[in-house]
Structure 1
Amino acid sequence: MSNKKSKYPVLQVDLRLISDLVVVIVSAAIGGIISSCLGQPVIVGYLLAGSIIGPGGLKFISEMVQVETVAQFGVVFLLFALGLEFSLSKLKVVGPVAVLGGLLQVVIFMFLCGITAVLCGAKLSEGIFVGCFLSMSSTAVVVKFLVERNNSDALHGQVTIGTLIFQDCAVGLLFALLPILGGNSGIFQGMVSMGKLLLTLSIYLAGAAVLIWSFVPRFLKLMTHLSSQTNELYQLAAVAFCLLSAWCSDKLGLSLELGSFVAGVMISTTDFAQHTLDQVEPIRNLFAALFLSSIGMLIHVQFLWTHVDILLASVILVIVVKTTVAATITKAFGYNLRTSVIVGVLLAQIGEFAFVLLSRASNLHLVEGKMYLLLLGTTALSLVTTPVVFKLIPALMHLGVLMHWFPSENGTNNEEKVSMIEAHDRVL
C-alpha cells in the first residue's frame, strides 16, 4: 500500500506476508519431496506441511487471512486447468456408466448422508453436502496409478476415467449449489433461489457458448501470433481470461470456481487447449501447493491425534461404502464382476477437489467445528492410504479367481474386449 501520510505515493512492502509465503512455499516443497520419496501423493505432503507450520502446530504463520487470500488463486487455477483437460470424446466412450452411473453415485451418497444427518439430529443441508463431498474421487491419484500400470486403456481404466471426468465436471455445478445449501431460507425460498441460480447459470453458459464460437479461437490465435518469440504474453492472456471469467461468474452470484472452470472448458474446445495447459500448469502447481498448505494449516494435529480412532474408522467406512456403491452401479450397467470391483476400489478414496469444496462450504458456514476437522482429516488419511489400497488390487483379484468369484485372466480379457466393442457400438 502507499503511505497516506506522504504527499506522494510511496510503495510499501508487507514483509510479514512475504515471510509467511516463504515459510509456506519452502515447507510445502519439503513436505512434497518427503511424501513423494515415501510413495505418497504430494498432496499429503502439502497438507502435513501446512499442519506443522500452522496455528495447530509450530505457529510459524501469523497472518493466516492474507496467506489464505493469496492461496485462493490455487482454487481458481486448479479449476481452470481441470476445464482445459475436459474431453467430451473420452466421456462418450463409456458415456452411460460414466454419466448416469456417476450421477447415481452422487445421488446415492447425498441420499444416504442426508438421511443419516436427519436421524442424528443434524441439518439436512449439511448431510447433503457431506454426500456430495464423499462422492468425489481423486482424478490425479487414480489416473497416475492407471498410467503407471499401463491400464488407462483397459476396460476398468476407461470406466474409471470416464467417471472421474464426470465428477470433475460436476464439481463446477456443486460450487453453484453450495450457496443454496448454506442459506437459511425455507424450502420454497430455496427452490426460488435455485431457479434463479439455474437461470443465471443458463445465461452465463449461453454467453460462454457464444464466446466459444465467436471470440475465443480468434483471440488465442492472435495471442499465439503475438507470442511467436516468447510465451510470456500468451501466458498472461490465458491467466487474464481465466480471472476475468471467474470474476464475472462471481459478480453474477455464481462462484469464482465455476467461472474459472468454464473458462478452461471454453479453451478446451479449441486447438490451443494443450498449449494453454502447458503455459498455466506451473502457475497452477505453485498456487495449488499454497492452497493445500493453507488447508493443512487448519488441521489441528492434537485434534487428529485425539480422534485418530474415529478417523481410521471413518476412512475404513468410506473405502468399504464407496467400493460397494461404485462396484454395484458398474455391475448394474452390464460390466463383469471383476471389472466392477476394480472400478469400485479405484474410486474408493476422497478426491483432492473435496478440499476445495470443503473450503468453500466452510466459508458459507455450511460445515463448522469438529465436522470440518473430521472431514478434513478423513480426506487426508484417505489419500494417504490410497497407494496401499491400490497395491492390494492384484491380491484381491487373485483371491477372487481362487474363490471362483472372477473368471481367469484370459477369460477376463476376452470379456473386456467384447464389452469395449459393445460400448463403442452404443456410442456409434
Structure 2
Amino acid sequence: MITHDKAKRNDTPSTIAAKSFQIQDVFSLETEDSDGTQLIDQKDNVFVMSNRKSKYPVLQLDLRLISDLVVVIVSATIGGITFSLLGQPVIVGYLLAGSLIGPGGLNFISEIVQVETTAQFGVIFLLFALGLEFSLDKLKVVGPVAVLGGLLQILILMSFCGLTAALCGAKLSEGVFVGSFLSMSSTAVVSKFLVEKGSANSLHCQVTIGTLILQDCAVGLLFALLAVLGGNSGLLEGIISMAKLVLMLSIFIAIGYVFSLSLLPRFLKLMVQLSSQTNEIYQLASVAFCLLSAWGSDRLGISLELGSFVAGVMISTTGFAQHTLEQVEPIRNLFAALFLASIGMLIHVQFLWNHVDILFASVILVVIVKTIVVTGVIRAFGYNFRTSFAVGLSLAQIGEFAFILLSRASNFHLVEGKMYLLLLGITAFSLITTPLMFKIIPAVLHLGKLMRWFPAERENNQE
C-alpha cells in the first residue's frame, strides 16, 4: 500500500497533550506535515519513496533510516567498548546493545527492516573476508566430511526432532522443521572468531568452515522443504525445486572457477596498477566484485552469502588475497558490528525474562545435543576425538540463517505465537554463548589431554 500520510492518526489535541513523554520519542522523526510518498508493507514497515511535490527526480533523505543507523552504531560502539574493557569479546556487546535498543527492549528502534537490510552487508563482507583467507587445497582435504558429514548432521537432527515431536503428540512437520532449524550454525559469528583467532589454518577450523559452507548451501534446499512441510507444495514440486537449486549452484561454481583461472588475475593486476597512487580504486573494485558475485548468486536462487564467499575464494586462488583483505577489513568490521547489533534487536527481552528458566534450559540442551551429534558425525569420518570435539563445540550454536527459516516457517504457520518468540530467543542467546564456547575450547582440549580422552600422539598430525 502506498500512502502520502505518515500514518493514520486518530489522536485529538487533547489526547496528544495527555500522552506522557517517553525517552524513545527523542529518536522519532515523525511530523504532522510530512510530504514524502511512502510505501507501507503488510507488517506496517514504512519506506520513504519520493517527493510527490517535485516534477523531477531530486535527492531524497530517509531521515528515519539515518536516525536508526546512528542509534545502532553508537549503541554497538558503547557495547563493544564496555565489553572490551571487561576483557570479554566485543561481539557480546554488539548483541546486547541491539537487544536494548530494539522493539523488545527500550524501543528506540521500532521498525527494524531497513536496518536489517543494511546490516546484511555485514554477513556479505564477513564471508568475503573468510573466502580470502580460505585455502581451496585444504577445502579439498576436508571436502568429504564437510559435504557428507554436514548433510548427515542435518538429517540426524531433523529425524531426531521429528521422532520426538511424533512421540510427544505434536505434528511431525513441526518436529522436522525444528530439526532443520537447529541444524544451522552461525557462519558469520563463527567465521568472525576464527578470523580474530588467526587459527583458520588448523584442521578443526577447516572442518568447521567446510561444514558451515555446506549448511549455507543447504539453506536454499531447506526453504524448498518448508513449502512442503507447510502444505503449500507437493512432494514432487519440492524435489524439483531442490534439484533446480543444486543445478544452479553447480553452474555458479563452474563459472566462478573458470573466471578465477582466466580473467580475474588480469583484472586484479590492472587494479593494482591503477592504484599506484591511492588504494581507492582497488578497494572499490574489490567491494564491487564481492557485491556483484553475491547479486549474481542471489539471481540464480542461491544465497547472497554463498556468492560473497565464492568471490573471496576466487581471489584467494590469485596472489592478491592478502592485499584485498587489507582493503576490505575496515568495511567488514563496520558492517559486521551493524549486523550483530541488528540480530540483538530481534530479542524480545520482556517475554524471555518471563520464561527465563525455559530459555536457559533450552539453550543448554541445544548446545549439548549439537555438540554430541556433530562430534559423533566427525568422529565417524575417521577424525580423532580431539578434532571432532573441537568442531562440535564450534558449531554448538544456532546460526543467523535460522532467523530467516523461522520467519518463513511462521508464514507457513509451522510455528506461531510463543513458540516463535522462544525459538527466536534461543537462537539469539545461543549466539551470545558462542564467545564462551570458543574460550573454553582450548581449556577443554587441554583437560582432555591430561585426562587421556584422546591419544596425544595423533594431535599433531591432525592439528
Settle same-fold status: TM greater than 0.5.
yes
**Of residues 342, 363, 370 in structure 2, which corresponds to 1:294?**
342
**1:258/1:59 CA distance change after superposition, 3 Å:** same
How far the C-alpha of 1:387 sits from its partner, in A, is: 4.9
Gaps (5+ residues) in structure 1? 424-428
8 A contact 2:127–2:188 mirrored in 1 = no
Partner of 2:407: 362
Cα distance in 1 for partners of 2:400, 2:376 equals 27
1:127 to 157, 178, 181: 178
Counterpart for residue 143 of structure 1: 194
Q: Which structure 2 residues correspond to residues 181-260 of structure 1 after superposition, within 5 A?
A: 181-183=225-227, 184-260=232-308
1:70 match = 118
1:127: Cα distance to partner? 3.0
Q: Which has the higher helix share?
A: 1
State which of 341, 344, 349 in structure 1 corresponds to 2:396.
349
CA change 1:103–1:198 in 2 (3 A) is closer
| In the alignment, structure 1 residue 416 sits paired with structure 2 residue 462 | no
Residue 45 of structure 1 aligns with an amino acid whose one-letter code is G
Conserved? CA contact 1:51–1:296, under 8 Å: yes
TM-score (norm 2): 0.76
State the shift of 1:222 in Å.
1.1
CA distance in 1 between counterparts of 2:182 and 2:359 reads 17
Counterpart pick for 1:109 among 150, 153, 157: 157
- Aligned AA for 1:173? C
1:11-410 alignment, distance < 5 Å: 11-92=59-140, 97=145, 100-119=148-167, 120-121=170-171, 123=173, 126-133=177-184, 139-140=190-191, 143=194, 152=199, 158-183=202-227, 184-337=232-385, 340-344=388-392, 346-347=393-394, 349-350=396-397, 354-359=399-404, 361-362=406-407, 365=411, 369-388=417-436, 406=453
Distance in 2 (alpha carbons) for counterparts of 1:144 and 1:219:
27
> Residues 82 and 227 of structure 1: is their aligned pair in 2 closer, same or farther, counting only changes over 3 Å?
same
> 1:358, CA displacement in angstroms?
2.0
Structure 2 distance, partners of 1:42, 1:271, is 32
Q: CA offset at residue 95 of structure 1?
A: 5.7
Aligned residues: 405
Taking a change above 3 Å as real, the CA distance of residues 14 and 251 of structure 1, as seen in their structure-2 partners, is same
Q: For 1:315-362, what per-residue CA distance to the aligned partner results, in whole angstroms no more than 9, with x for missing partners?
A: 221222233233334444455555554554x336316xx114423652
Contact 1:137/1:350 (CA < 8 Å) preserved in 2? no
Contact 1:79–1:260 under 8 Å retained in 2: yes
Q: CA contact under 8 A between 2:223 and 2:405: conserved in structure 1?
A: no
The TM-score normalised by the length of structure 1 is 0.82
Deviation at 1:298, TM superposition (A): 1.7
Quick one: distance in 2 between partners of 1:37 and 1:90? 37
Answer yes or no: is the 8 Å Cα contact 1:99–1:163 preserved in 2.
Answer: no
Conserved? CA contact 2:296–2:307, under 8 Å: yes
Moved more, 63-72 or 138-147: 138-147
Cα–Cα, structure 1 residues 339 and 244, in superposed 2: closer, same or farther, change >3 Å? closer
**Greater mean alpha carbon deviation, residues 356-365 or residues 12-21:** 356-365
| 1:25 positional shift | 0.4
Alignment deviations for residues 53-79 of structure 1 (CA, whole Å, 9 cap, x no partner): 111111111442322222222232233
> Residue type matched to 1:59 in 2?
N
- List gaps (5 residues or longer) in structure 2: 1-48
- Rounded Cα–Cα distance in structure 2 between residues aligned with 1:169 and 1:277: 20
SS in 1 for 2:457: helix
Q: CA deviation at 1:3?
A: 3.5
Provide the rounded CA distance (Å) in 1 between the counterparts of 2:384 and 2:307. 39
Q: 1:159-211: CA deviations, max 9, x gaps? A: 42122121232143123224312322111110111122222222222222222
Asked whether the equivalents of residues 181 and 402 of structure 2 are also in contact (C-alpha less than 8 Å), the reply is: no
For 2:249 and 2:443, the matched residues in 1 are separated by 47
SS of the aligned residue for 2:109 comes to coil
Question: AA paired with 2:213?
Answer: C
Q: Percent identity?
A: 63
Higher relative contact order (CA 8 A, sep 6+): 1
- For residues 286 and 145 of structure 2, what CA distance do their matches in structure 1 show? 34
Relative to structure 1, the CA distance from residue 10 to residue 359 in structure 2 (aligned partners, 3 Å threshold; closer, same or farther) is: same
Over alpha carbons, which structure has the higher Rg? Answer: 2
Give the secondary structure class of the aligned counterpart of 1:5.
Answer: coil
Query: 1:169 and 1:2, CA in 2 relative to 1: closer, same or farther beyond 3 A?
Result: same
| Per-residue Cα deviation, 1:353-372 (whole angstroms, up to 9, x for no partner) | x1144236525746665444
Residue 426 of structure 1 is matched in structure 2 by none
Distance 1:243 1:390 in 2: 30
